[in-house]
Amino acid sequence: MKLIQTPIRKAAVFVMLTALLVGCDDFGNLNVDPNNPSQVRTELLLTNVQRDISAVSGAVIGNLWVQYMAETQYDDDSRYSTTTFNFNGWYTGALMDLQTIIDLNTDEATSGDALSGGSNNNQIAVARILKAYFFNVITDRWGMLPYSEALQGSANFRPSYDSQEVIYVDLLNELKEAVNQMDTGPGVRGDIIFGGNMTRWAEFANSLRARIALRMADTNRSALAESEFVDAVNSGVISEDVMYPYLGEAANQNPWFARFITRTDYAISDVLANYMKGLEDHRVLRYADPAPDFHTAGEEVTFNNIVGMPYSVENPGDITNSSISFPGAAIRGQDSPLPIITVSELHFAMAEAVERGWMAGSAENHYLAGIEASWNQWDVYDAANFTNYVSNAEVVYDSANWQEKIGTQKWVALFPNGFEAWAEWRRLGFPQLTPHSLPLNASGEIPRRHAYPTSEAQLNKINYDAAVSAQGADTPDTRLWWDVN
């Protein structure tokens, strides 16, 4: 049967063809899954990255190795049983997310869409600062790392390792350049640490730069360490503590709270508790809860109510929970904040800088300001109690023994920032900690680093072998570049 092309039929065909042609202009939308968007929102990436800071501020292992805490039942970690640690999650998680933020804000094809997260320059600057923060933490754990060739995805599955010296020098440059890159445009969004306040981001970057520079003080880069430290301080460091802000909900709760929901594996160690009690250091009343066997509910908590768990004991499970002190509510409340970097730490750093001749001023004044800032951080400051504490012969400043004085008081003040305390203990050598009497590692000494993940020896062998050869060995006793004391 032959179709007759009537005017009406011709019009209908024209409409159908027009619809198809118009539809072709928007054909790409058919392949867009609204539940799995391909356009990454940088502000969401930033929030996700910042939540990974909790894995540093709330980590366990550093607290055990500097003897802030002791294990109450299974004490393998206190006895240094684990030697190999995996750094891969940092590369595939936070570091890759930060690189993505940088790439999206740098590429002209995506930089416009990325503006929902703040100005392009400010987003790149913050991402660079956080990359420096995370790389500093992990290089201080493992030493040499994939760095300059890292985060290239499928372009390079086997990155070479950079020396810690190279990494440190570049971190200083990254932090300086990041601050200089900031502009007057909108601050970053999705920021749970500083709420998009770029001035505070700059102060944070300068404070990290001072921390990194000081770690280099006794290396072959001491001149650079001095100039960078002084420049960082003069550029403006933090004037209030930087804390990780946990919430009173399971989605972003304090990790110590989570650990104590069903278990009681960690108590304040006798090493820390006895030192602080002997000096009537009121911070210990915040660091620890009273031991139930030595305290009546409802009564004021005193130093006698705080009982540390023996750090080095053959059968920790024989000691009852009621006879020891667990971390206090200020540490393990569901929304209790944990320190990232504090004013106290910066004052101790400046006291050391004065002693090294890097800057003018009074080392003693910065030392005392560091202790006072820590007392304020833990909300225990009282003029009479503070004066009594700093009048102890053990605490009174002595320039001839500044490493011991600063190192010991910094150790007390850094609690419970275990990884930072572990780094400073390795660098300064104080306080003098006695290793566990029943060690499970070969040397019996407190570890100086983490051994590389086994996957590196299997999947990146050539570069792994080169790093091990350059570093000397891949053992917990292998010292890092800056660990010379």
24 or 101, which is more confident? 101
How far, in Å, CA of 311 to CA of 53, rounded? 27
| 447-460 pLDDT per residue, tens | 999 999 999 999 99
- Residue 34 CB neighbour total at 10 angstroms: 6
| 233-244 pLDDT per residue, tens | 999 999 999 999
6 or 424, which is more confident? 424
- Mention every residue, 6+ apart, whose C-beta is less than 8 A from residue 475: 83, 442, 443, 451
Residue 260 burial class via C-beta count within 10 angstroms: exposed 0-12, middle 13-18, buried 19 and up: middle
% of the chain exceeding 70 in pLDDT: 92
Mean pLDDT on 423-436: 98
Report the candidate in 397, 25, 349 with the shortest Cα–Cα distance to residue 206.
Answer: 349
Mean pLDDT on 100-115: 97
One-letter amino acid at 40 equals V
Helices 120-142 & 96-106, crossing angle to 10 degrees?
A: 150
Q: Could you report how far apart the first and last alpha carbons of the chain are, in Å? A: 99
3-state secondary structure of 269: strand
How far, in Å, CA of 68 to CA of 414, rounded? 10
How far, in Å, CA of 123 to CA of 301, rounded? 47
| 261-320 pLDDT per residue, tens | 999 999 999 999 999 999 999 999 999 999 999 999 999 999 999 999 999 999 999 999
Q: Are 289 and 325 spatial neighbours (Cβ–Cβ below 8 Å)?
A: yes
Q: What single DSSP character describes residue 392?
A: S
Kindly list the structural domains of the chain, giving each domain's residue range(s) and its CATH number in brackets, ordered by start: 42-252+336-471 (1.25.40.390), 255-278+288-332 (no CATH)
Mean pLDDT on 406-429: 98
Q: Is the pLDDT of residue 5 over 90?
A: no
At 290 the pLDDT is: 98
- Give the confidence band of 38 by pLDDT, cuts at 50, 70, 90: low
Report the candidate in 337, 402, 394 with the shortest Cα–Cα distance to residue 366.
Answer: 402
| 211-222 pLDDT per residue, tens | 999 999 999 999
- Mention every residue, 6+ apart, whose C-beta is less than 8 A from residue 450: 83, 84, 85, 141, 142, 476
Q: Is the pLDDT of residue 254 over 90?
A: yes
Buried b / exposed e along 47-64 (16+ C-beta atoms within 10 A): bebbebbbbbbbbbbbbb
Residue 242 burial class via C-beta count within 10 angstroms: exposed 0-12, middle 13-18, buried 19 and up: buried
Q: Are 353 and 406 spatial neighbours (Cβ–Cβ below 8 Å)?
A: no
How far, in Å, CA of 392 to CA of 413, rounded? 17
Distance of CA 360 to the CA centre of its chain: 30
Q: Are 374 and 342 spatial neighbours (Cβ–Cβ below 8 Å)?
A: yes
How far, in Å, CA of 418 to CA of 283, rounded? 17
- Give the confidence band of 17 by pLDDT, cuts at 50, 70, 90: very low
At 344 the pLDDT is: 98
At 6 the pLDDT is: 41
Q: Are 76 and 82 spatial neighbours (Cβ–Cβ below 8 Å)?
A: yes
| 61-77 pLDDT per residue, tens | 999 999 999 999 999 99
Helix (H) or strand (E) holding 131: helix 120-142
Token pair in block for residue 135: 């790389």
- Residue 98 CB neighbour total at 10 angstroms: 26
Indicate whether this model's pTM tops 0.85.
yes
Mean pLDDT (the chain) is 93
Q: Is the pLDDT of residue 194 over 50?
A: yes
Report the candidate in 196, 165, 75 with the shortest Cα–Cα distance to residue 481.
Answer: 165
Token pair in block for residue 262: 């069903």
How far, in Å, CA of 74 to CA of 85, rounded? 19
How far, in Å, CA of 421 to CA of 408, rounded? 10
- Mention every residue, 6+ apart, whose C-beta is less than 8 A from residue 371: 344, 386, 389, 390, 395, 409, 413
At 153 the pLDDT is: 87
At 232 the pLDDT is: 98
Mean pLDDT on 199-210: 98
Q: Is the pLDDT of residue 15 over 70?
A: no
Mean pLDDT on 27-53: 73
At 7 the pLDDT is: 41
One-letter amino acid at 422 equals W
Token pair in block for residue 207: 């404070």
Alpha helices in 216-269 (DSSP H): 222-235, 255-259
| 333-368 pLDDT per residue, tens | 999 999 999 999 999 999 999 999 999 999 999 999
At 316 the pLDDT is: 96
Report the candidate in 319, 263, 322, 258 with the shortest Cα–Cα distance to residue 289.
Answer: 322
| 141-151 pLDDT per residue, tens | 999 999 999 99
Mean pLDDT on 95-111: 97
At 26 the pLDDT is: 41
Q: Is the pLDDT of residue 485 over 90?
A: no
Helix (H) or strand (E) holding 209: helix 198-215
Residue 313 C-beta-side C-alpha neighbours within 13 Å: 17
Alpha helices in 143-197 (DSSP H): 164-181
Q: How open is the CA angle 474-138-99, to the nearest 5 degrees?
A: 125
Number of H helices, E strands in the chain: 22, 6
Q: What single DSSP character describes residue 146?
A: E
284 φ, ψ (degrees, to nearest 5): -65, -25
Q: Is the pLDDT of residue 28 over 50?
A: no
